[in-house]
Amino acid sequence: MDCAGIFREKNVTLYGSSVLPRGLRVYESLPNVISFALPLPQAIVQEVAEKGPTKTYFHHYRTCNAYIDHISYTLVLAIKAEGYDALYIPASQSVSEDGYHGLFPHKAAAVLCGLGGIGMNDLLVTRRYGAGVRLGTVMTNMPVVQAEAVENPCNGCGVCVRACPSGALFGKKWEAADSVEAMIDVRLCSAYMKKTYQGIGRGAVCGICMAACPIGRT
């Protein structure tokens, strides 16, 4: 199946695939994963860095998510047409009782697939686009090429940690065994967004720690 052809057609330049370790499988019948990243416009990332989240940022965030779901579903249909099974993880959807976690963490797939590493902001950081990306994930039983691990682009500068207005980031350099809880107080982060940015997507976004990261800036 020509995933590369679909990514080319959709103008996706950063993608990879991997076998999921057993402990990370959501469905035993879908042991492989494909991950891809779409960059946010750099002008928007800069705007968030200077002013904090804006309505324009929130629009791009949602548009990007919608396009990710479209690409993911295109991949699912193409894989199924080849006789395999596949399922995509929604670009942005919480499924846990506490509302903080999705069906599967996109960034875990992205690291496995060689797209980048986890920064002190607990976001995927890519060499080319920094943390200013949105992620898509497709699980499948189609055989995939195992990506090579890449060096984590996060240099531990701590700029994101100091920029966070809520103090939610612990400033920890990420290691593979780290859980989300080791990196960030998600409740503090969420409470701050809801309280401060009600006028922007009802407090669904902040992005300051994403925009603060200097990696990938030109």
* Shortest Å, Cβ 77 to ligand SF4: 33
Nearer to ligand SF4, 143 or 156 (CB): 156
The token duo for 182 is 């080791």
* Shortest Å, Cβ 152 to ligand SF4: 8
Least Cα distance to 110 among 127, 87, 93, 94 occurs for 127
Enumerate binding residues for ligand SF4 (CB under 6 A).
119-121, 125, 131, 154-160, 164-166, 168-169, 184, 189, 192-193, 206, 208-209, 212-213, 215
Nearer to ligand SF4, 31 or 52 (CB): 52
Nearer to ligand SF4, 109 or 122 (CB): 122
Residue nearest to ligand SF4 (CB): 119
104 vs 108: CA distance, rounded Å: 8
SS (H, E, C) 73-137: HHHHHHHHHCCCCEEEECCCCCCCCCCCCCCCCHHHHHHHCCCCEECCCCCEEECCCECCEEEEE
Nearer to ligand SF4, 34 or 211 (CB): 211
130 vs 147: CA distance, rounded Å: 19
The token duo for 46 is 């800069």
* Shortest Å, Cβ 33 to ligand SF4: 23
Residue type, 189: C
* Shortest Å, Cβ 210 to ligand SF4: 7
CA atoms lying within 13 Å on the CB side of residue 46: 6
Nearer to ligand SF4, 8 or 162 (CB): 162
* Shortest Å, Cβ 116 to ligand SF4: 10
- Which letter does DSSP use for residue 24 in this model? G
